[in-house]
């Protein structure tokens, strides 16, 4: 993921719909100033709870809004992903 992309939201009163993120989806999450690999644990229309790689190499769980998420992570991560790597 391009580390220079910043999360954004043009209108602070509009939160994008997060219902497209389903449990088990591989995503990128922007936390601690960087895009980090993550997997969705739970989602609602407003936010997603995800397990992600922290800066120490371990994992953390946090709830984030869709402005801090990007779909499309294809790399397999042994600590995050319980399924087989995508082919």
Residue ranges of the chain whose pLDDT lies below 70: 1-15, 84-87
Q: What pLDDT, on the 0 to 100 scale, is given for residue 11?
A: 57
Q: State the CB neighbour count (10 A cutoff) for residue 28.
A: 20
Mean pLDDT, all residues of the chain: 84
* Percentage with pLDDT > 90 across the chain: 51
Q: What pLDDT, on the 0 to 100 scale, is given for residue 28?
A: 94
Each domain of the chain, given as residue ranges in start order, spans 26-71
Please state, in angstroms and rounded to a whole number, the distance separating the CA atoms of residues 45 and 37: 21
Counting every residue written for the chain, the total comes to 87
């Amino acid at each position: 993921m391009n580390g220079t992309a910043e999360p954004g939201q043009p209108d602070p009163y509009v939160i994008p719909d997060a219902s497209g993120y389903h449990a088990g989806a591989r995503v990128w999450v922007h936390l601690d100033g960087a895009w980090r690999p993550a997997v969705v644990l739970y989602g609602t229309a407003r936010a997603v709870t995800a397990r992600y790689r922290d800066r120490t190499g371990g994992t953390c769980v946090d709830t984030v809004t869709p402005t801090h998420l990007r779909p499309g992570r294809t790399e397999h991560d042994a600590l995050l992903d319980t399924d087989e790597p995508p082919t």
